[in-house]
């Protein structure tokens, strides 16, 4: 596949909906469009001035500020969401050049076909307060954040950041309760090939579960792939009959470590519950695909090798669908907040982590683990001393208001 430094397949085939109902290019976009379910619809957004302009600029080879997260990852040696989606589009459409995507739109940026994939973040209702999240992503962080700022220096940037984050209007995140939204999705089902569903925690959202049951009973969904991003704390037996009717159901299970690492990073998760649910997901029928997503941060990077060893020892059956281990256990990276990025570890910890990861790669080379070299490449980037100090300030304050401390992660 030929590369283009600015183009991405998603604006020509995809719509993302943020937790607050705002429409966006994708889940990684730095900004959103200012259009949302408050003032518009997905159908109106699809050929809006904003989205047509994005397509035109990409055709001209101009990089967009909205896409800077992917550009940054690529500069760090990470295979970005943009590159992954471009490869996927070329493969699905039997193309060798991503610039073939321009043929689906006019010179004015209009695309006549409906969007074929959606990424829907169903509000911020969640049962966890993951360390890399904030109230916009998890309702649990509202109260915890208010407690946190009491332990931060009032003159610090961290204090002002968190003081702003806790001041959210929960009404902005209740859009999933609007019946007209689900009616629009119902009308789009014949055109949709893939629907990515996240949150918050999507398996907590009753409106979405009712929607899945409704479309699976009233429409033909045998062409439709659903992909869930879920924290593996929940397993819903009653949804199996409905999910069985879809072409495929994919579960990306966000697990960032085991035992105390799981609890510290995705607080207050219970590792025994997660481990049991992983076994249950592993026993789902053939049309279910399960992967584990490990989000690498400066707390769990040193734990990654231990987690891989545990995962291999479990002999999950769903892993057999993949020719490579790094396709079953996928890694992502925390870029924000910056103080949780592995870029901002001390030099001593970076060198130790790189050494451990390299040993892991050498040991399991035959299983297909070369993608994990991205961890080493990312660790090789220069740190920001200020963010390193912010990490200590943040975790020291957090440890005062939770029942687990980072010193316990040994």
Query: Can you tell me the distance from the alpha carbon of 369 to that of 361, in angstroms, rounded to the nearest whole number?
Result: 6
pLDDT tens digits along 96-136? 899 999 999 999 999 999 999 999 999 999 999 999 999 99
pLDDT tens digits along 317-335? 999 999 999 999 999 999 8
* 236 and 267 Cβ atoms separated by less than 8 Å: no
Q: What is the mean pLDDT of the segment spanning 83-87?
A: 89
Q: Which of 74-78, 114-118, 226-230, 308-312 has the lowest mean pLDDT?
A: 74-78
Query: Can you tell me the distance from the alpha carbon of 325 to that of 316, in angstroms, rounded to the nearest whole number?
Result: 11
Pairing of strands 129-130, 225-230: unpaired
Q: Which residues are within 8 A (CB) of 397 and not within 5 positions of it... i.e. 6 or more apart?
A: 148, 151, 152
Label residue 89 by pLDDT band (50, 70, 90): confident
Label residue 3 by pLDDT band (50, 70, 90): low
Quick one: pLDDT at residue 76?
Answer: 80
pLDDT tens digits along 138-165? 999 999 999 999 999 998 989 999 999 9
Query: Can you tell me the distance from the alpha carbon of 410 to that of 406, in angstroms, rounded to the nearest whole number?
Result: 9
Quick one: pLDDT at residue 187?
Answer: 94
Q: What is the mean pLDDT of the segment spanning 82-108?
A: 90
CA distance readout (Å), 301 to 41, 75, 115: 41, 20, 37
Radius of gyration of the chain (CA): 21
Quick one: pLDDT at residue 62?
Answer: 93
Label residue 31 by pLDDT band (50, 70, 90): confident
Q: What is the mean pLDDT of the segment spanning 272-283?
A: 98
Q: What is the mean pLDDT of the segment spanning 378-385?
A: 93
| Total number of residues shown for the chain | 410
Quick one: pLDDT at residue 4?
Answer: 66
Give the whole-number percent of the chain exceeding pLDDT 90: 86
pLDDT tens digits along 215-253? 999 999 999 999 999 999 999 999 999 999 999 999 999
Quick one: pLDDT at residue 79?
Answer: 85
Query: Can you tell me the distance from the alpha carbon of 172 to that of 240, in angstroms, rounded to the nearest whole number?
Result: 31
């Amino acid at each position: 596949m030929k590369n283009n430094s600015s183009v991405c397949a998603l604006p020509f085939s995809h719509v993302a909906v943020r937790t607050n109902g705002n429409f966006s290019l994708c889940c990684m976009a730095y900004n959103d469009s200012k259009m949302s379910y408050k003032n518009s619809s997905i159908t109106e957004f699809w050929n809006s001035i904003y989205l047509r302009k994005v397509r035109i600029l990409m055709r001209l080879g101009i990089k967009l500020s909205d896409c800077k997260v992917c550009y940054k990852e690529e500069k760090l040696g990470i295979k970005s969401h943009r590159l992954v989606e471009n490869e996927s589009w070329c493969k699905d459409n039997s193309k060798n050049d991503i610039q073939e995507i321009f043929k689906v739109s006019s010179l004015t940026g209009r695309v006549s076909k409906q969007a074929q994939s959606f990424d829907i973040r169903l509000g911020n209702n969640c049962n966890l307060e993951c360390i890399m999240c904030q109230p916009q992503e998890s309702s649990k962080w509202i109260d915890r954040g208010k407690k946190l700022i009491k332990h931060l220096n009032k003159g610090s940037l961290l204090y002002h950041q968190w003081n702003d984050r806790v001041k959210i209007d929960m009404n902005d995140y209740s859009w999933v309760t609007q019946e007209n939204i689900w009616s629009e999705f119902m009308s789009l089902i014949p055109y949709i090939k893939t629907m990515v569903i996240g949150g918050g925690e999507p398996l907590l959202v009753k409106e979405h579960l009712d929607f899945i049951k409704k479309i699976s009973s009233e429409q033909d969904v045998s062409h439709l792939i659903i992909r869930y991003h879920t924290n593996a704390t929940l397993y819903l037996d009653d949804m199996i009959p409905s999910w069985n009717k879809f072409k495929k159901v994919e579960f990306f299970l966000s697990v960032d470590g085991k035992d105390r690492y799981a609890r510290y990073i995705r607080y207050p998760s219970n590792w025994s519950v997660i481990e049991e649910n992983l076994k249950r997901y592993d026993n789902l029928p053939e049309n279910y695909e399960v992967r584990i997503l490990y989000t690498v941060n400066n707390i769990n990077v040193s734990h990654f090798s231990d987690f891989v060893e545990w995962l291999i020892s479990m002999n999950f059956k769903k892993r057999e669908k993949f020719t490579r281990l790094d396709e079953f256990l996928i890694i992502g990276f925390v870029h924000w907040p910056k103080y949780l990025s592995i870029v901002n570890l001390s030099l001593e910890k970076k060198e130790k982590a790189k050494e451990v990861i390299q040993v892991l790669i050498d040991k399991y080379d035959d299983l297909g683990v070369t993608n994990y070299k991205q961890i080493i490449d990312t660790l090789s980037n220069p740190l920001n001393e200020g963010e390193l100090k912010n990490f200590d300030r943040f975790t020291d304050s957090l440890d005062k208001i939770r029942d687990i401390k980072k010193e316990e992660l040994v």
